[in-house]
Structure 1
Amino acid sequence: MAEDSTHRCHFLFLFLLSHFTFSTYPAVARHLPPGSTRSLATATLDVSATRAQALQALTFSPSSHQPPSYLVPHNHSSAAAISLAFHSRDFLPSSAGHRHPDYKALTLARLRRDAARVRSIAARAALAVSGVAASDLKPVAEEKAAPIAAADSIEGPVVSGTSVGSGEYFSRVGVGSPARPFYMVLDTGSDVSWLQCLPCADCYQQTDPVFDPSASSSYAPISCDSSQCRSLDASACRSSSSTKAAVASGGEGSCLYQVSYGDGSFTVGDFATETLTFGRSDPVSGVAIGCGHDNEGLFVGAAGLLALGAGPLSFPSQISARSFSYCLVDRDSSSSSTLVISAGAAQSGEAPAVTAPLLRNRRLATFHYVGLTGISVGGQMLSIPPSAFAMDESGAGGVIVDSGTAVTRLQGPTYTALRDAFRAGTASLPSASAWSLFDTCYDLSSRTSVEVPTVGFHFPSSKELRLPAKNYLVPVDDAGTYCLAFAPTSASLSIIGNVQQQEIRVSFDLDNAVVGFSPNKC
């Protein structure tokens, strides 16, 4: 009998072992590295404060506020630095005409744009891995393109541009000579900077008057045979013996550019060099930028886009920047933070609290990849294989840090492990129905604050970025519904979105290939 009982126990053990070794990872499997304590297992979410903050985006009146200035004090850099402020899209002067009736409608609009953004990134990554270049694809606006008529350091403030298809944060940039200020989307997932230009074949509504290149003494079209034109993914050539473009390019023909976005938005026009002014710093001349005469899509409010990607035409690459950093304020906040770009010697100051490897994808130069190794929930590491975050030899997979994506996307099994662990740690909270993109929601209408499991991103050498609770449990309506702000993706790469980056200074040390994260350094 004893032997038979032993066999039955052994069989039961093998059954349970096989039951928990499916492709979906167990939610929690191992403890954090030595030094972590149980007191780090929970974080406090101030429900009252976050609900009050959410109302700001609905009740903001531009008439009662000074418009955000693109001139800010040199409080983050040396005397030679240029300073620009970041601002939220819903606090731009033009946002008054695009008010939503309630916070639910605002959140749904944000999520629709976010879904388009993620589709665009996933498609671009898939094409790169398959070896299909963007230049091999037919431009969506090709037929409309033909009839178009003829520093050491940089620092600046940032705005959330949630109504713009390609990004959610804005800054004020001076363009031309004399400089005229424009609201520009700041986008770490783009390489081509551009703005709307006269004459307009088709221009969407923007806050500022449309840029007139004929009024700028520093505007100069780029010739078709230039290296800058050849670096474009999608370009064409237009020649004319009578236009300013032809004269400036020596009669060789001027370069046309086209950029398309996943939501159907696009911009087409002349590719030129222009002078850009950032805050109180000296102007930066000779920056290659698109002058868009045909522009359609969701770019309401912004004049254009300042590209902060890793490709050769991005603004940091053009000025041979050695580092840059930004801090994204809460999307529902009227406050601003700063963007800092250093082209000279590294700026002295406090080192980032957490660092991680900055990786490059040889198939897709645009995105900033980070060496993520794991995720913890409630003080314990999730049992996720390293392959879930790794980039393979083909360029597939990996994790990017993106300022334009709102909600962090994780591969299916990784997301499931995070969600299940979070649910297990919030069993005492009243649940709510799934909401749009989110499948893990709570009714916190009767609470002023709650304790929730901590969520941390882990990097090599046991370094952890522990997120504030409001960066992953967010309000989605006026009724007190909060949801876990992560989502699964079927794409091979994962994305750390801007909701998780809020009020954390993200720095890119391009010299040393390091990404830094510094909470509360805005």
Structure 2
Amino acid sequence: MAEDDTRRLHSFLFLLSLLTLSTSPAVSRHHPATTATLDVSATLAQALRAVSFVPSSSHPLPYNLSAAAIFLSLHSRDFLPSHGSAAHRHPDYKSLTLARLRRDAARVRAISARAALALGGVATTDLKPIEEEKAVQTAAGEAIEGPIVSGTSMGSGEYFSRVGVGNPARALYMVLDTGSDVSWIQCQPCADCYQQSDPVFDPTASSSYSPLSCDSSQCRSLDVSACRNSSSSSLYSPSAGSSGEGNCLYQVSYGDGSYTVGDFATETMTLGGSDPVSGVAIGCGHDNEGLFVGAAGLLALGGGSLSFPSQISARSFSYCLVDRDSPASSTLDLNVATAQAAAGAPAVTAPLLRNRRLATFYYVGLTGISVGGQMLTIPPSAFAMDESGSGGVIVDSGTAVTRLQSAAYTALRDAFQAGTASLPSTSGVSLFDTCYDLSSRTSVEVPTVAFHFSGRRELRLPAKNYLIPVDSAGTYCLAFAPTSAPLSIIGNVQQQGTRVSFDLENSLVGFTPNKC
């Protein structure tokens, strides 16, 4: 009997060991990471290089290196060859940070105002709006690839791409903006032009430049447009009506006071080593003011009918945003068969949602946020878009700092503060209320922060994408901010180093870390 008991005991222990072996790996595989390492020394050194670099106007950056895909070393304003760039330099990194945050706040106000307007507000402009009508664009193109540059240190909170405009093509730096639908460049003659790195575009030197008439579908698709009679001596006077007998004028205003006004025309555009794309509707701005210092204009990547992806019937596009303080290069890919082909299979995919009342923005199906591996208690309504089109979460390349509804932000901040109780805190800076003095540290462990999407998909952010330097003394702040607006925004600081792909055919947003 004792021998039977012994055998049964051995069998039990054997089965127990098998059970342990079979379950332990699964437990470890699904155990969420709770901390991430922030390299303080490396991020601070890079920040210091951003404000100390002196550009050379005598050695312009190359545009086309080969007939195939290009990978250029593109840079923010402090790295761009520029005439008189010293006037726009900052004395230290804190000054640069404050300038970024002021412009970022203006950007968010503009987006919020535009969303509110689309949901029933009233617009006020200097030009007479023309009834909106969908533009018909059937241009088919092959895969197009172009370069992207961090432009946050240019003070605009934007990223930049090198684009060829006209025939023969003139290489120009253009703001890359997923929150805009109208592409434009500064043009001669200039009634008022801001300082840019490249010479101002002269439409008379391009054989492919062609003004659009007021009755063109492209002109009627503008939010704000007007007619200019060819015999009129006033370049910007709107006509009394839209008779179609005249050239189309456009106006685009931004919430920070920036604006561009001029002729709406079609032109040839070339990205990278791809074939030129003809007949692209763009603005030729003769009166331009605002925060676009350094760039020649704006390349609109929004979801509206006049955006560049829409005009070339792009099936997808993707970009990877380099670190805001880095001179490194990355690429923008358009019209690849699928987002997966653009960047390889994305590590994380999420639903791409569209707002029937606001076509410009790319909404993503965010379901939650975790800190330190623990899901925050945030009601689903904080991230949802309701039936009226209000609310939701957009992915925006032009906003720097991610904005969350106040309750969601408070939950994230409180959880992060609880996980960093051992770090020396310091006073807030501008819109940041959670800051630390890391001047005596070379690296620190901080709680992980991750976005969660449907299907248990998780995008875990690198520590440098949410704890960022704000001065040269070692002050770091949590790079999230609250908003009282119903719309939340995933900004470019959080997107750094991640290839973001928009599969327009299959309504998916893909996030692939470390694929720049």
TM category, shorter = 0.7 to 0.9
| Alignment-derived partner of residue 294 in structure 2 | 301
Moved more, 118-127 or 56-65: 56-65
| Counterpart for residue 519 of structure 1 | 513
1:420 is paired with a residue whose SS is helix
Equivalent runs, 1:308-319 vs 2, <5 Å: 308-319=301-312
Corresponding residue SS for 1:286 = strand
Of 444, 453, 474, 2:438 maps to: 444
Measured in 2, the distance between the counterparts of 1:449 and 1:467 equals: 17
Matched, 1:509 2:503: yes
* Residues 1:173 and 2:163 aligned together: yes
AA matched with 1:152? E
> Corresponding residue for 1:230?
220
Q: Give unpaired runs (5+ residues) of structure 1.
A: 1-32, 143-150
Determine if contact 2:78/2:154 at 8 Å carries over to the other structure. no
**Equivalent residue letter for 1:228:** Q
Q: Note if contact 1:87-1:171 (Cα within 8 Å) is conserved in structure 2.
A: no
Counterpart in 1 of 2:118?
A: 128
Residue 267 of structure 2 is aligned to residue 279 of structure 1: no
Query: Where does residue 53 of structure 2 map in the other structure?
Result: 60
What is residue 9 of structure 1 aligned with on the other side? none
Shift of residue 138, structure 1, vs aligned partner: 2.0
**What CA distance in whole angstroms lies between the structure 1 residues aligned with 2:437 and 2:153?**
27
Q: What per-residue deviation string (whole Å, max 9, x for no partner) do you get for residues 340-385 of structure 1?
A: 0016577376200000000001111111100000000000000111
- Distance in 2 between residues matched to 1:494 and 1:507, nearest whole Å: 19
CA distance in 2, matches of 1:85, 1:333: 10
On the 8 A contact 1:141/1:268 being kept in 2, the answer is no
Measured against aligned partners, the alpha-carbon deviations of 1:60-118 in whole angstroms (never above 9, x if no partner) come to: 122399544332568xxxx6x67777533332122444221110000000000000000
Q: Give the 3 Å change call, closer, same or farther, for CA 87–164 of structure 1 in structure 2.
A: closer
Q: CA RMSD in A?
A: 2.4
Name the SS for the 2:213 alignment partner.
coil
Q: Is the 8 A contact 1:429 1:442 kept in 2?
A: yes
SS in 2 for 1:438: coil
Partner of 2:367: 373
Task: Give the match's secondary structure for 2:293.
Answer: coil
C-alpha contact (below 8 Å) 2:127/2:225 kept by paired residues: no
Cα distance in 2 between the residues matched to 1:181 and 1:456: 38
Moved more, 122-131 or 90-99: 90-99
- Is the CA contact 1:88–1:329 (under 8 Å) kept in the aligned structure 2? no
Q: Which residue number in structure 2 is paired with residue 25 of structure 1?
A: none
| Cα shift at 1:444 | 0.3
In 2 relative to 1, CA 348–332 (structure 1 residues): closer, same or farther, beyond 3 Å? Answer: closer
**Partners in 2 of 1:370 and 1:270 — Cα distance?**
34
2:331 to 315, 332, 338: 338
TM-score normalised by length of structure 2: 0.86
Q: Which shifted more, 53-62 or 305-314?
A: 53-62
Percent of residue pairs bearing the same amino acid type: 79
Check if 1:208 corresponds to 2:198: yes
| Partners of 1:223 and 1:255 within 8 A in 2 | yes
Shift, 1:394, TM fit: 0.8
Distance in 1, matches of 2:342 and 2:89, equals 42
* Cα distance in 1 between the residues matched to 2:343 and 2:485: 38
Report SS of the residue matched to 2:366: coil
Specify the alignment match of 1:362 in structure 2: 356
Which residue pairs with 2:315 in the alignment? Answer: 322
Q: 1:160, CA displacement in angstroms?
A: 1.7
Q: 1:41: which partner in 2?
A: 34
For 2:488 and 2:153, the matched residues in 1 are separated by 23
- Tell me, yes or no, if the aligned pair for 1:328 and 1:337 is still in contact at 8 Å: yes
CA 1:116 to 1:422, structure 2 compared with 1: closer, same or farther past 3 Å?
Answer: same
Distance change >3 Å, CA 373–CA 290, structure 1 → 2: same
SS in 2 for 1:93: coil
TM-score, normalised via structure 1 length: 0.85
Structure 1 counterpart of 2:478, one-letter code: L
Q: Which consecutive residues of structure 2, in runs of 5 or more, have no partner in the other structure?
A: 1-25, 130-140, 236-242
User: How many Å separate the matches in 2 of 1:65 and 1:439?
Assistant: 43
SS in structure 1 opposite 2:111? helix
Measured against aligned partners, the alpha-carbon deviations of 1:285-316 in whole angstroms (never above 9, x if no partner) come to 00000000111111111110000000000000
Among 77, 91, 97, which residue is 2:79 paired with?
91
Which residue is equivalent to 1:138? Answer: 125
- Look up the SS of the partner of 1:479 in the other structure: coil
DSSP-derived class of the 1:287 partner: strand
